[in-house]
């Protein structure tokens, strides 16, 4: 399953809820959720822990728009829009966390 999160973990609990409830799958961080993929943020420990259960992706254009492209946590994979489409096509189900 592909878990899509678009809200910043600093202002919304969507990513926290996903990590607490979901058992496995891929996580794609888009829009303001990309802040969770930045090295040195308050959520970095949870992200590193989550990498044991999930493959974590981040939408590169959203990282670039926020000036974070050079500070991705090691192990988080950046994808472009084509990669976003590929993730939706290769995962049987998609869940958007609001």
pLDDT at 65: 97
Question: What is the value of pTM for the model shown?
Answer: 0.95
What is the dotted CATH code of the domain comprising 2-97? Answer: 3.40.1260.10
Tell me which residue of 43, 17, 10 sits closest to 97, measured CA to CA. Answer: 17
User: What is the pLDDT, as a whole number, of residue 89?
Assistant: 96
Say if CB 10 and CB 35 are below 8 A apart. yes
What is the per-residue pLDDT for 11? 93
**Closest by alpha carbon to 97, among 8, 57, 10?**
8
Region 43-51 average pLDDT:
94
From the number of C-beta atoms within 10 Å of its C-beta (0-12, 13-18, 19+), residue 92 rates as exposed
In which region does residue 51 sit, left (phi positive, over 0), alpha (psi from -120 to 50) or beta (all else)? alpha
- Tens digit of pLDDT for each residue in 14-43? 999 999 999 999 999 999 999 999 999 999
What are the boundaries of each domain within the chain? 2-97
């Amino acid at each position: 399953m592909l878990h899509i999160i678009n809200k910043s973990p600093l202002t919304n609990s969507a990513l926290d809820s996903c990590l607490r409830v979901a058992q496995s799958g891929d996580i794609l961080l888009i829009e303001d959720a990309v802040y969770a993929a930045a090295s040195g943020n308050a959520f970095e420990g949870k992200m590193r822990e989550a990498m044991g259960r999930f493959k974590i992706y981040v939408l590169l254009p959203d990282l670039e728009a926020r000036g974070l492209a050079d500070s991705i946590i090691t192990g988080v994979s950046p994808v472009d829009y084509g990669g976003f489409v590929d993730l939706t096509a290769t995962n049987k189900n998609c869940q958007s966390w609001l």
